Amino acid sequence: MLEEIEDMGASQKRSLDSYVQRLIEYIPKLKYWHSEQERNEKGWRSEVVNFRNRINRLL
């Protein structure tokens, strides 16, 4: 996987970085932000799946 990242262009690396950062932001929301879970859980789960799919496509 490291070789795949090294072979990426600058734009792809920025995209990968952005998706990884957003994934890291949303996973704790799902696990620990109980007061907002009922209202936002479906959207957060959707975003996590979306970010993971985009990361996989980039790699």
**3 vs 37, residue with greater confidence:** 37
Distance in angstroms (rounded) separating the CA atoms of residues 41 and 57: 24
| pLDDT higher than threshold 80 for residue 15 | yes
Residues 45-56, mean pLDDT to the nearest whole number: 96
| pLDDT higher than threshold 80 for residue 1 | no
Residues 35-49, mean pLDDT to the nearest whole number: 94
pLDDT at 2: 77
Residues 29-43, mean pLDDT to the nearest whole number: 93
Distance in angstroms (rounded) separating the CA atoms of residues 24 and 17: 11
Question: Domain segments of the chain: what residues?
Answer: 2-58
Residues 25-37, mean pLDDT to the nearest whole number: 92
